[in-house]
């Protein structure tokens, strides 16, 4: 299927000489929720801003809905809704007006019915006559989303949608994103929260120092990352392991005093029963055991650090 967003060999060098993106190639399928993860300064906002036409690329090609974002800017931009990290709207403006204005920017005819639906979906309808300055932080965030949806975009970019918001609003956002997906909107979000990617995304991309270092289906990523370790503390230190244990891919701990067995939590069989039987047969006794599980957070940090 034709990707709705296609990014090929994208690089960005800012005027300062900083290389913010290097050879980024990425296709986003229509209707998917794609989470872009990366540490501060990795290039997430730069990538989004280039696709949205706010920052000019140094190299590469981007198409949105088949339109080149440079030569067919208007057509490409019209398909995109962008929810930035911060509100830049005039604090004195009213909710209804600012959201309607956003629609007008794209040259679309007025459609009060659509604006009403968007505001209702975001629980902002009651506040339509309020001025932005009179809203809570969470409501202001929702106004940003309403503005981004005012022109019925096909692709929605959310730049850290839930940074610093409370649990309830975060869950509201997640629900909203799912609803949009059901309506056929493609959602690309950046986040620092692994939990958010886990909750929402169909696919996850990890960016580090301007390079995409991994793109994976979330389910696959979880399967790969969902590892546990079993550490067996041995009664007697071992030197080399007997041949009969080779199939278990054990690591020998420091001084041969422990054996470390890594297994997948999501696998149907962990292999532990077989391992314990083989250990007994080999006459290896242990005094204690413990298990640990690396959190997704740990794994993400390792992944990002590993490529340093
Ligand atoms: N206008 C600019 N001029 C020069 N350098 C910039 C500019 N905007 C961003 N950068 C630099 O480009 C790099 C990538 O920044 P970017 O904002 O894209 O990262 P990010 O992944 O979105 O970070 P964060 O998670 O902190 O929002 C950073 O080193 C940043 O300092």
Over pLDDT 70: what percentage of the chain?
92
Q: Does one domain contain both 127 and 275? A: no
Q: CA dist 21 to 93, 278, 287, Å?
A: 36, 51, 52
Query: Which residue's CA lies nearest to atom 16 of ligand 1?
Result: 43
Judgement on whether residues 150 and 268 belong to the same structural domain of the protein? no
Same domain, 131 and 266: no
In Å, what is the CA distance from 208 to each residue of 138, 220, 287?
29, 20, 43
How many A from CA of 232 to the centre of ligand 1?
45
Q: Are residues 109 and 46 in the same domain?
A: yes
Chain CA centroid to CA 134, Å? 31
Last residue of a domain, one of 153, 188, 223: 223
Report pLDDT digits (tens) over 70-113: 999 999 999 999 998 877 777 899 999 999 999 988 888 999 99
> Among residues 223, 257, 280, which one ends one of the domains?
223
Ligand 1 is surrounded, with C-beta below 6 A, by: 14, 16, 18, 20, 38, 40-46
Task: Count the residues in the chain.
Answer: 308
Integer angstrom CA distances of residue 272 from 6, 246, 251: 45, 14, 14
Nearest-CA residue for atom 31 of ligand 1: 41
Which residues span the domain enclosing 301? 226-306
Domain of 16, CATH number, reads: 3.40.50.300
Query: Are 123 and 267 within one domain?
Result: no
Q: Considering only CA atoms, which residue is closest to atom 12 of ligand 1? A: 20
Q: Give Cα 201 to chain centroid, integer Å.
A: 6
Q: What is the pLDDT of residues 218-241, one digit of tens each?
A: 877 766 666 778 999 999 999 888
Give me ligand 1 centre to Cα 61, in Å: 20
Residues 186, 252: one domain?
A: no
Residue 299: give its domain's CATH number: 3.30.70
Beta strand 203-208 with 251-252: parallel, antiparallel or unpaired? unpaired
Q: Closest residue (by CA) to atom 25 of ligand 1? A: 40
Q: b/e string for 49-73 if b means 16 or more Cβ within 10 A?
A: bbbbbebebeebebbbbebebeeee
Place of tokens 């990290």: 85
On whether both 200 and 213 belong to a single domain, the answer is yes
Token couple for 44: 């997430």
Q: Quick one: which atom of ligand 1 is closest to the CA of 47? A: 18
284 and 214 both lie in a single domain: no
Instruction: Choose which residue among 15, 20, 159 to substitute to test ligand 1 binding: the one with the highest number of ligand atoms within 8 A of its C-beta.
Output: 20
Locate 119 and state its tokens: 């505001």
Report the C-alpha gap between 13 and 5 in whole angstroms: 22
Q: How far is the CA of 4 from the centre of ligand 1 (A)?
A: 25
Number of domains in the chain: 2
Residue with tokens 């640990």: 292
Same domain (yes/no): 104, 193: yes
Cα of 25 vs centre of ligand 1, distance in Å, is 19
Closest residue to atom 26 of ligand 1, CA basis = 40
Rounded distance from Cα 13 to ligand 1 centre (Å): 11
**Residue with CA at minimum distance from ligand 1 atom 1:** 14
- The answer to whether residues 261 and 173 belong to one domain is no
Domain final residue pick, 190, 223, 256: 223
pLDDT of residue 266: 62
Ligand 1 atom nearest 42 alpha carbon: 21
Q: Are residues 270 and 200 in the same domain?
A: no
Ligand 1, atom 5: closest residue by C-alpha: 14
* E strand map for 145-246: 155-159, 186-191, 203-208, 211-217, 227-234
Is the same domain home to 28 and 80?
Answer: yes
How confident is the model over 160-215, as pLDDT tens digits?
A: 887 777 788 888 888 888 989 998 999 999 987 777 888 889 999 999 999 999 89
Interface pTM, i.e. ipTM: 0.96
């Amino acid at each position: 299927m034709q990707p709705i967003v296609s990014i090929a060999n994208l690089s960005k060098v800012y005027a300062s000489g900083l290389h913010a993106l290097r050879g980024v190639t990425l296709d986003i399928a229509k209707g998917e929720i794609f989470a872009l993860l990366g540490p501060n300064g990795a290039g997430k906002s730069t990538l989004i801003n280039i696709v949205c036409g706010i920052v000019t690329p140094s190299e590469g090609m981007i198409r949105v809905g088949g339109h080149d974002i440079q030569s067919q800017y208007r057509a490409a931009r019209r398909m995109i809704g962008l929810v930035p990290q911060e509100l830049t709207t005039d604090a004195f403006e009213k909710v209804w007006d600012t959201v309607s204005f956003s629609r007008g920017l794209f040259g679309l005819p007025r459609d009060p019915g659509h604006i009403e639906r968007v505001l209702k979906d975001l629980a902002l309808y009651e506040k339509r006559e309020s001025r932005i300055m009179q809203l809570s932080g969470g409501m202001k965030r929702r106004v940003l989303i309403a503005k981004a949806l005012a022109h019925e975009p096909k692709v929605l970019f959310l730049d850290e949608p839930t940074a610093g918001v409370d649990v309830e609003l975060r869950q509201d956002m997640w629900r909203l994103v799912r609803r949009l997906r059901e309506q056929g909107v493609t959602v690309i979000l950046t986040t620092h929260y692994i939990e958010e990617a886990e909750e929402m995304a169909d696919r996850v991309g990890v960016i580090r120092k301007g390079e995409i270092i991994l793109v994976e289906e979330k389910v696959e990523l979880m399967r790969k990352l969902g590892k546990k370790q079993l550490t067996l503390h041995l009664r007697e230190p071992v030197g080399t392991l007997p041949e009969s244990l080779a199939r278990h891919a054990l690591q020998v701990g420091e001084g041969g005093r422990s054996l470390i067995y890594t297994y997948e939590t999501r696998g149907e069989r962990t292999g532990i029963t077989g391992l314990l039987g083989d250990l007994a047969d080999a006459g290896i006794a242990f005094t204690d055991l413990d298990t640990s599980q690396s959190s997704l957070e740990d794994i993400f940090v390792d992944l990002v650090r590993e490529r340093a």
